Amino acid sequence: MSQRLLMGAAYFYHLTKRSLEATLPVLIGKSLEAGWKVAVRAREETLLEHLDRQLWLGDGFLPHGLAGGPHDSEQPVLLTTGEPGNDPNCLISVDGAEVGAFEVAAKERVCILFNGADPAAVEHAREQWRTLTEAGAVAQYWAEDQGRWTKKAESTPEQK
């Protein structure tokens, strides 16, 4: 079996018009529709607490929990700063949370959301792209274009 078949993909979402709070529920919802468990990873617990409140206040019900509870492994969506305890199919990285190439290989999908208005966040996402693709991960870059997400670039291991 080729390396390509063994790996998931990293999807980079360049947030320029929609906020994290507006984009995250959409991606989580699509993942749940696919039958996947999801982990959302951030660097700071305070951001996760904010996202937790936003997910409960949103239009649709998205069952989720903050990591550290007694039922982490059963959570369809787990918000965490570390290793996900719910064995997710999809890992969503926000606010520059690190993702390793081994995680891209082990998951159906990894989503990396970054703030296009923050030059440091954009540079960090570029570095994540380089690191993951140099390690052999497939990556796609998605940008907001006239109210829709448009794939602007794709890297495959064969392009190295």
b/e per residue 9-48 (b: at least 16 CB within 10 A): bbbbbbbeeeebeebbbebbbebbeeebbbbbbbeeeebb
CB 130 within 8 A of CB 136: no
Q: What is the pLDDT of residues 26-55, one digit of tens each?
A: 999 999 999 999 999 999 999 999 999 988
pLDDT at residue 63 tops 80 = yes
Reading the block at residue 57, the tokens are 């206040």
CATH superfamily to which 3-159 belongs = DNA polymerase III subunit chi (3.40.50.10110)
Percentage of the chain beyond pLDDT 70 is 92
Domain boundaries, the chain: 3-159
Q: What is the pLDDT of residues 108-142, one digit of tens each?
A: 999 999 999 999 999 999 999 999 999 999 999 99
Q: What's the pLDDT score for residue 157? A: 65
Say what the pTM is.
Answer: 0.91
